[in-house]
Amino acid sequence: MEEPRNYDHQHPLLLLNEDQLIVADCSMCGVKVSTPCFSCAQDCGFYLHKVCAEPPLELNHPFHPHHPLLLMQNAPYSSGLYICNLCHLKGNNFVYHCSCDLDFHIKCALFTFNISENHLKELEHVALQHPLICPKSGDRELEDGAKCFLCCEPLANYTYFSLDCGFNLHKKCAKLSFKLNHVEQFSCKICGETSGKGLGFIYGCSPCKFAAHLKCVSAALDLVIGDKRHEHPFSLFPRGSSFICDACGIEGSYASYICCTCNIMVHKKCTSLPRIIKSKWHDHHLFHKYFLRIEDFRVLDCIMCNYEVSTDYGSYYCSECDVILHVKCAMKDKDSYEIVENEDEVPNESSIIVIERNNAGEATKVTHFMHMHNLMLGPFVGGYENSCEGCMLPITDPFYYCTECVFFLHKACAELPKMKNVWRHRCREPLALISYKGIWCEQCWQISNTFAYECSECESQICLRCVIALTPGARTCLKHEHPLFFYRDYKGQCNACGFTTRWAGGAFCCKDCNFVLHLRCFSLPITVRHKCDEHLLSLTNHDDNSYSENHYCDICEKSRHPNRWFYHCAKCDTSAHVDCVLEKYPFLKLGSIYEETGHPHALTIVKKKYNYPDCDECSKPCKDVALECSESECKYIVHWNCVAPYPLKWPSRWDM
């Protein structure tokens, strides 16, 4: 055998036999070698796969027909690293490089070259893998996410080749005709999906802008499709022009399927759309329907993207909440929904058990798992000066109250489920409803000890005010005539406080005008009590008084902006800044027990207004919210800030 090129290596190379054990990496491709292979005669650690020993110095690869690929010992980049355009893995060894910044691992380049030229005998050194064996671990189950490079179907479906560099290919795909292009961002004319990273190679004609996935071309199209989720069969109807799919509302062409009974035309993939799904972002089942009567819905905006949903095409909807989603939005992320087989399945366990209902079917007597007594549906005379135990906002209709103790819950707060997927929360698992635990809300950054949802994965908490505000759908707001929609990444000036949105909190925005509210401002209490006035103060969005000397705060006696929101009493003409009224801890429930300290007795949350005692920690007067020992003989009292955990101190970490 002719000696291989040594690529400037100073010593000759020897061919090692198959009975020798080698533990080393190939100096050409960086992958572990096995015999037979070439080794440096001087044993200096230079090894070459037998396949890597004779690669051409210049390669005219069919995947890149316009320029030759040159074999280089190092990539021509300052870091010396490159990313293979075939397997997307990094490398720092020999590379096939093109001046247009295209880089291929040696194994990837030669492997695909031999396949495209139909030199399958050259691949005898690559072992075929059984579908149930993982090429990396050797386990009997294939690793998650392993897919064929060309058709992007799971490797587990068929016998396949698998290179150590991560390049995987079905044996059946290796036999395909490789007159193809890797066309960016073309839509497959058969299935309608967009090409690009993660969707595999495509057959394409650039002049005609025609593209089709390998799996759509190589597999024969079914002439008739029957699916249990649709009562009638779909028949193949080839087309010479585009059409709009009645199931999803997205354009398709060249291959459509028609249900002659229902007179609907759909993509092949849409013939098997699930009829019922459970979305991570909604508490009830969502039903797929091809056409909706516009009078059935008050709001026709998709709760995912906030754009209008056409009733002329299919969508997913919730009949209980009057919410609607585009099909592409409901099924955009496979981890965000699951198919529901049993229509009677209850999505989430309710927090209440209904004991009695009125003639209209409304629950009038219930039990809540957070309270020991039965709760009655209001109205209740004398209860309106109290706050909701769930959100700490003033009680308004409709609400539940306890006949045996002072306990009130808004109806919306009471009916929230025990476990809930909170909109936009990063973790997959539902959050659990908790109460009376000091929390720092990750959404509005407020400190509270009311009801909240807690994540078992990241241990973060979200208060009920934010959970309700972030529940998808249009929202109305203080004296604003148009509905508002939440946008996570929006950055702009808030109409309530005048500050620009910051961090990743997002904002509620109006699509009809330039009205914007921070989540924190959106959740402000509409009415609130303060010692500066005997009446309830109402949140106001504009001061009609034209005299600038009247634009001041009755609490801090400083000026205020007439177009920034403030609290006002019309009877007494009292006006005050929002922060002056709410103060440091507006959502800590006074009189409740707090036990998360080192004190041996339970502590009660109090607010000292007169005769301020000295704090047992810092010796300064306790003028505001403090923790007082519940044992009468113990005179222990401390500032909240002196003993609360770091995230619960004021100012919070986001306000500093």
| Cβ–Cβ under 8 Å, residues 397 and 260 | no
DSSP 8-state class, residue 383? -
- Which strands make up the sheet holding 516-518, listed edge to edge? 475-477, 480-487, 507-510, 516-518
Count of positions (residues) in the chain: 656
User: Which of 492, 485, 451, 460 shows the shortest CA–CA distance to 470?
Assistant: 485
Instruction: Please give the backbone phi and psi of residue 189, each rounded to the nearest 5 degrees, phi first.
Output: -75, -5
Burial status of residue 406 (CB atoms within 10 A of its CB: 0-12, 13-18, 19 or more): exposed
CATH of 419-470 given 3.30.60, 3.40.1710, 3.40.50, 1.10.287: 3.30.60
CB atoms within 10 A of CB 295: 7
CA–CA distance, 403 with 584 (Å, rounded to integer): 32
Kindly state the helix (H) or strand (E) to which residue 168 belongs, with its residue range: strand 168-170
- Which strands make up the sheet holding 399-402, listed edge to edge? 352-357, 363-368, 374-377, 399-402, 408-410
Instruction: Please give the backbone phi and psi of residue 52, each rounded to the nearest 5 degrees, phi first.
Output: -80, -10
Give me the pLDDT at residue 219, please. 47
Kindly state the helix (H) or strand (E) to which residue 241 belongs, with its residue range: strand 234-244
CA–CA distance, 440 with 646 (Å, rounded to integer): 10
| Cβ–Cβ under 8 Å, residues 577 and 566 | yes
Torsion of CA 206, 209, 215, 217, to 10 degrees: -90
- Which strands make up the sheet holding 128-129, listed edge to edge? 128-129, 160-162, 168-170
CA–CA distance, 11 with 130 (Å, rounded to integer): 40
Instruction: Please give the backbone phi and psi of residue 173, each rounded to the nearest 5 degrees, phi first.
Output: -75, -25
CA–CA distance, 149 with 495 (Å, rounded to integer): 51
Give the per-residue SS3 of 297-359: CCCCEECCCCCECCCCCCEEEECCCCEEECHHHHCCCHHHEEECCCCCCCCCCECEEEEEECC
Q: Spell out the alpha helix ranges (H) of 396-518.
A: 411-414, 464-470
Longest dimension (CA), the chain: 104
Please state, in angstroms and as integers, the Cα–Cα distance from residue 48 to each residue in 106, 164, 484, following that order: 12, 15, 64
| Cβ–Cβ under 8 Å, residues 261 and 235 | no
| Cβ–Cβ under 8 Å, residues 103 and 83 | yes
How much of the chain is in helix, strand and coil states, percent to nearest 5? 10, 30, 60
Segment-wise mean pLDDT, segments of 10 residues, the chain, 656 residues: 55 75 75 77 78 79 81 82 81 84 82 70 59 49 61 68 68 62 54 50 61 58 60 76 84 78 83 84 83 65 82 83 84 80 73 88 89 85 68 82 88 87 77 83 82 87 83 70 79 83 69 83 80 85 68 87 87 89 82 77 80 84 83 84 75 44
CA–CA distance, 354 with 418 (Å, rounded to integer): 15
Tokens of 387: 């706050």
CB atoms within 10 A of CB 326: 23
Omega before 379 within 30 of 0, i.e. cis? yes
User: Which of 312, 305, 310 shows the shortest CA–CA distance to 329?
Assistant: 305
CA–CA distance, 478 with 181 (Å, rounded to integer): 56
Please state, in angstroms and as integers, the Cα–Cα distance from residue 277 to each residue in 248, 274, 281, 570, following that order: 15, 7, 11, 50
Omega before 65 within 30 of 0, i.e. cis? no
Give me the pLDDT at residue 87, please. 74
Tokens of 312: 């002329």
Tokens of 477: 């707001």
Give me the pLDDT at residue 375, please. 92
CA–CA distance, 268 with 248 (Å, rounded to integer): 11
Give me the pLDDT at residue 550, please. 67
If DSSP codes are grouped into helix, strand and coil, which group holds residue 215? helix
Instruction: Please give the backbone phi and psi of residue 475, each rounded to the nearest 5 degrees, phi first.
Output: -125, 150
CA–CA distance, 173 with 160 (Å, rounded to integer): 9
Q: Return all residues near 367 (Cβ < 8 A) that are at least 6 apart.
A: 352, 353, 355, 374, 375
Instruction: Please give the backbone phi and psi of residue 157, each rounded to the nearest 5 degrees, phi first.
Output: -75, -30
Tokens of 291: 């056409």
Alpha-carbon 591 to chain mean position = 38
Q: Which amino acid type is present at position 375?
A: L
Q: What are the start-end ranges of the E strands in 467-526?
A: 475-477, 480-487, 507-510, 516-518
CA–CA distance, 264 with 574 (Å, rounded to integer): 63
